[in-house]
Amino acid sequence: MDKPVIVTVDDDPGVSRAVARDLRRRYGQEYRIVRAETARDGIEAVREMRLRGDDVAAILADYRMPQMNGVQFLEAAMDLYPYARRVLLTAYADTDAAIQAINVVDLDHYLLKPWDPPDEKFYPVIDGQLDAWLRTERIERSELRVVGDRWSAQSYKVRDFLARNHVPYQWMLAEDPEGEQLVKAAGENCHLPLVVTADGTTLESPDQATLAMAVGLSTTPATDFYDLIVVGGGPAGLGAAVYGASEGLNTVLVEAYSSGGQAGQSSRIENYLGFPDGVSGQQLADRARRQALRFGAELLTARKVTMLEPRGQARVVGFKDGGEIAAHAVILATGVTYRRLEAPGLEEFVGRGVFYGAALTEAPACKDAEVHIVGAANSAGQAAVYLAGFASKVHLLVRGDGLEKSMSHYLIEQIAALPNVDVHLQTEVVGGGGTGHLERLTLSTKGEERTVDAQWLFVFIGAEPYTSWLGETIERDAKGFVLTGPDLVQGGRRPRNWPLRREPYFLETNVPGVLAAGDVRAESIKRVASAVGEGAMAVALVHRYLEKQ
């Protein structure tokens, strides 16, 4: 097998030779070093390698180049080699550009020139990047094809599941020429949506578990006992999985749908630390998922947890479709779901014009149409800004008399600056209707009702925790949120059987060894950053618990 390639591009001949020399000295036995002195030559070399089937492990590009800068070069190279590690070579004066590139091209690292001595400033960085590349699963999945109806709830579920699990697919309508051919090939009684895999396997109206297995998502646990089980794959759960696995705990994360939770549906998160240009919820979730896998965490998708039971020192989790796993400790991070609108006539159109959450797969179909959004918190504001790039008009329906109490100031300013976004205060949806899909809404503004044409309604209201499956095992408040720490004691629910009769720490539930983190926990701060922090803190408390067993 040919050696994998490390590519270096720098328009300064002296620097270019120095970089290649240092790379060959350390990595020449295992990697082929290819250098180019212009961005154009570099892109041409990368294209030729792609055609030959060469494997590129890392690409190092200088920021200041005349034909295209290093960020533009890496962006172009990323399309050809998405798994190659990307390193920007930059002078101190260009560090701001390097930081911005982290978001633009998912930059893996930037190196300041000069890097003498290389043993201290150059090789440790490249060692880390090559190690990460070797650990990355680089099997490129051929694109799935999904055939369905425009206003089919089941078609929407399939597309949403694939999109939120970062599985590429091609969507086509059953009446399109290619879609029609695929349906005919599947047989006369084909049930849509039809999913066609790369090897030609067809799945007709597949359920979530079948679809997950078909696209290569892990659904079966590797063992029946772990150090730590994390239930829920939102920011809190992913944070717990990353810290648990990185600190040596045999960790498994169980997610019923897709990683990211509610945050994963956000079109743009602009106030998360370290992302000055913002990051989509899907990007953030995907990075966290890959980070957890890199540290050795096991991720199970499309497995719904319906039981938690203490058995001696073990904490046992059971699945809806059968089977169970056990661990020394469990972290509950199941998050919350958007509350359903109770307006008559809407429930039958879920997935057919009515969507709970951002439903990013639907945004392109909203082009030049009017959309309605219900909600006044950040998630609704982010959706309004995002959908304004597609829709001719966005109507933000707010039950209260303003946005200031529930939405971040930066989002309020962005919405005010968009000419095609109208905010309707003291307005509620009181009804809906249509034939086959949503066609109209009945709105009430200050008690006065009116009916408007509407095919798209996105709902971001309230929060309901997914905790009913806990039964009487875990103490919860009246709304279903898990009680932890001082809230247990203040509510008169002093935990039984606690070691030394101590009070639980703030993330610990009434069952020793079971903790809660993120939105599912009563009195938690409903922010992505705080959820990640609670996930990390929960792991620290798990260690403390295990030390005393």
Tell me what the mean pLDDT of segment 254-275 comes to.
Answer: 81
**Is residue 523 within 8 Å of residue 487, measured between CB atoms?**
yes
DSSP annotation of 272 reads S
pLDDT in tens, 535-549: 999 999 999 999 987
Amino acid at 15: V
The pLDDT of residue 1 is above 50:
no
Least confident of 110-119, 314-323, 375-384, 540-549: 110-119
For the ranges 326-335, 417-426, 492-501, the lowest mean pLDDT is seen at 492-501
pLDDT at 495 exceeding the cut of 70: no
What confidence score (pLDDT) does residue 178 get?
A: 85
Tokens 């030049």 locate to 368
Mean pLDDT across the chain: 88
3-state secondary structure 282-320: HHHHHHHHHHHHHCCCEEEECCCEEEEEEECCEEEEEEC
Domains of the chain: 5-135 (3.40.50.2300), 145-215 (3.40.30.10), 225-335+464-547 (3.50.50.60), 354-461 (3.50.50.60)
User: Per mean pLDDT, which range of 86-95, 97-106, 171-180, 264-273 is the poorest?
Assistant: 97-106
pTM: 0.74
Express each pLDDT in 423-452 by its tens digit: 999 999 999 999 999 999 999 999 899 999
pLDDT for residue 491 is more than 80: no
pLDDT-wise least confident of 28-42, 59-73, 305-319:
59-73
Nearest C-alpha neighbor of 514 from the set 235, 240, 224, 247: 240
Phi, psi of 91 (to 5 degrees): -85, 165
- What's the token pair of residue 75? 């962006």
What pLDDT band is residue 341 in, cutting at 50, 70 and 90? very high
17 or 272: whose pLDDT is higher?
17
- pLDDT digit string, tens, across residues 157-178: 999 899 888 888 889 999 998 8
What type of residue sits at position 255?
A: E
Instruction: Name the band, by pLDDT with cuts 50, 70 and 90, for residue 48.
Output: confident
412 bridge partner residues: none
